[in-house]
Amino acid sequence: MKIGITCYPTYGGSGVLATELGKALAKRGHQIHFISYAMPMRLNGGFDNNIFYHEVEMTTYPVFEFPLYTPALASKMVEVANFEGLDLLHVHYAIPHATSAYLAKKMIQNDKFRVVTTLHGTDITLVGLEPSFLSVMKFSIEKSDGVTAVSRHLKEKTLTNYAINKEIDVIPNFVDVEEYRHVDDSCIRRKFSLDDKRILIHVSNFRPVKRVMDVVKIFDIVQKKIPAALILVGDGPERSNCEMLVRELGLQHSVKFLGKQNELPEILSAADIFLMPSQSESFGLSALEAMACEVPVISSSVGGLPELVVHNQTGYIAEIGDVERMAKYAVDLLTNETKREMFAKEGRKRAMEMFNLDKIVGEYERHYEKILNLPKVD
């Protein structure tokens, strides 16, 4: 198949999933065309003969106060679909990608062309519920030929919030268990002089919904009871507030801000516990990557996280904002190495059995084939 993929190219779960899916499909012989305003971060310049990138060029005019990304993206989608002969376009994150895809589909002179939309979370639970977006969100989803969601929770939220009259297939996020596995962590520990400390880690885009401030508060409680260090990977709007809180608590020598990183397996492998106290999380891709690297996860009980993290087996789950309980769980694991190692092995096993790349990419291929054989949605 010739497949177009549109995603946000920045540091976030939807862009990571879309990029890794494209790379995996290319290895299976499909021709993949990424269409976005910037090269997806996870591509890392690693093109092969089946991967192409098409940049959406943005032009500013004095008459327009804001950039017109939605029509510009639709125009590029039409151009690529017609010139490359795409079979389908797979868009990740509903606004504005599904809207642009609908416009493109109406302009493409190919009755066999199809559009698949994957819902990732905040596009539904936060952005789409804004009154100014609600109608266009519902319309764009229902006008897609195929729709998938990354968790059962997200599917139910979508059907309920928007009264969607559309079949939604649940296809969870995945991880390449050959790439994400426990590796030698001595280099990371030596680099930050952490050989004598237990390490907690958090990876995100530092948006408010990730509650990174809670991560720092959890760590503050833990480090008072056992020698520990905290590694924070990523960047975003909450980073400055987190740095300020770290200084206020006097933790600047124990907390390492690494910013955005591409080579995560080695960093994750150095950790003893992964923290994800999110306010909203449709799935929790970074938590899955941690599990694949044999790191137990302590998370909040929101969204799709209970579908990923098995309480008292691969990690622990607590209520949003309950930093005391999350810290208690962390201390429990860090002072009981036998239990921590058992959770680590169970997390790796669950990642391999339920969320491995081959299994989930195969589900996407079957979804594409189903949609290509269904009547086109007008």
Span 235-261, pLDDT tens digits: 999 999 999 999 999 999 999 999 988
The CA-based angle 77-17-302, given to 5 degrees, is 120
Q: How many angstroms separate the CA atoms of 122 and 340, rounded?
A: 32
Q: In this structure, what token pair is assigned to residue 297?
A: 């996860």
Span 279-326, pLDDT tens digits: 988 899 999 999 999 999 999 999 999 999 999 999 999 999 999 999
pLDDT higher than threshold 70 for residue 373: yes
- The most distant pair of C-alpha atoms in the chain lies apart, rounded to whole Å, by 66
Span 118-141, pLDDT tens digits: 998 876 765 545 666 778 888 999
Top-confidence residue, 145 or 262: 145
Q: What Å distances lie between residue 61 and 58, 64, 91, CA to CA? A: 10, 6, 27
Select from 299, 295, 296, 289 the least CA-distant residue to 269. Answer: 295
**Which of the residue ranges 18-22, 192-196, 205-209, 335-339 would you say has the lowest mean pLDDT?**
192-196
pLDDT higher than threshold 90 for residue 110: no
Domains and CATH numbers, the chain: 2-174+357-372 (3.40.50.2000), 186-354 (3.40.50.2000)
Q: pTM for this structure?
A: 0.89
Q: What Å distances lie between residue 218 and 44, 243, 328, CA to CA? A: 33, 15, 9
Q: In this structure, what token pair is assigned to residue 118?
A: 């994957």
Q: What is the pLDDT of residue 128?
A: 44
pLDDT higher than threshold 70 for residue 61: no
pLDDT higher than threshold 80 for residue 374: yes
Distance linking the first and last C-alpha atoms of the chain: 22
**Which of the residue ranges 12-21, 124-133, 183-192, 366-375 would you say has the lowest mean pLDDT?**
124-133
